[in-house]
Amino acid sequence: MHNFFRKLSIRARSPPAPKKKSSANHMLKKNSSGLLRFIRNNDKPDEEPTFDMPMHLMIQVIDRMPFFEQIRQSRVCKEIREHIEEKYSKIKKLELRKRDINEACASDDAFERHSKAYVAVKIEKDTACVVIDDAWVVADFYVFLGILEVLREGVETVEMDAPIAELIVIYMSDISLERWYAFQCILKAFNDVYEDLHLDSGFIADRDTFWPKCSDIVIHATKAQAAALGRILDYGVKSGYLLDGIPRMGPSLRDRLQQQSVIQ
C-alpha cells in the first residue's frame, strides 16, 4: 500500500537512479541492498506516474485505514505526516495496560493488533487504549513506546499499570531497554533471592516532557506490582519530565506516583 501511494503521487516520487554500464561480471552478495535493484533492471529510469492523486483524496483514503497502516503511510510525504500528527494530537486520554494480548483482543474486537509485536491499540473518540502482552519482550517495548510517541502530544489524562509506568521511566533514563529487560528476567527468575535488587542510573540532566499537556496520572498496581513503583526513583528521572505542571525540582517521581497510585 505504501508503494501504491508513492506511484500515484508525484510529490513522493524518488528521482531516477543514474544509469549504470552493464557488466557480465556482477558479484551478488547475500542480503545485498542492491539485489532487488539489480533484479528489477534499474538501468531504466522510473516511469512517470499516470495520475497525480489529489492530496485531499489521498488523506480521505488513509483516514479509513487501520491505525498501524496510517502510521506507515505518514512516510509518504510531509502533508500526510502533518495530517496524522494533528489527527492524533486530539487524543486526550490514554489507558495503558499489561495484559494477556490474546484475551484482550478476544474480549474486544475493536482492538487492532500489530502484525509482529504483541501489542494492540483501540481508539474511540478522544480515548486510546494500548495493551502490551504480559509476557513482553524487547521488540514489544519499541512498538508500544512508538505508539505512545504518536499519541502523547495532546494527552491530558493517563491510566496505566505499574509495570508500564516503570517501562516509560526507563525509556526516559540512560538505561537501555535491553539491559532493563535482562534485569526484569532476573527478578522474575529469582524473586525470593533478589527481592530488593535495584538497577541504578545517574540523574538525568534534562529531558523533554513526555506528556506536555498531562495533569493527571493514575497508576493501577497489584500487590505483586507495587515493587515497580519503589524502583522508579532509581532511574534518575525527575517527575517534571513525565508530565507538565510539576516543578522539575519539586517532589520526587516516586512520591508523586505513589500518591496517585491505585492499589488493586
- Residue pLDDT, tens place only, 230-243: 788 788 787 777 76
Residue whose grid cell is 497510585: 261
Domain span including residue 4: 1-13+50-88
In the chain, the percentage of residues whose pLDDT exceeds 90 is: 41
Does residue 113 sit within a domain?
Answer: no
C-alpha cell at 233: 526513583
- The band of 101, judged by pLDDT with boundaries at 50, 70 and 90, is very high
Q: Is residue 242 part of a domain?
A: yes
- Mean pLDDT computed over 2-10: 50
Q: Are 253 and 139 found together in one domain?
A: yes
Q: What's the CA gap between 44 and 39, in Å, rounded?
A: 12
Q: Is residue 114 one of the residues assigned to a domain?
A: no
CA–CA separation, 187 vs 225, rounded Å?
12
Q: Is residue 128 part of a domain?
A: no
Check whether 264 has a pLDDT greater than 50.
no
d(C-alpha 70, C-alpha 66), whole Å: 6
pTM of the shown model: 0.71
Grid cell digits, residue 215: 495533569
Query: What's the N-to-C CA distance of the chain in angstroms?
Result: 44
Q: Quote the cell numbers at residue 32.
A: 545485498
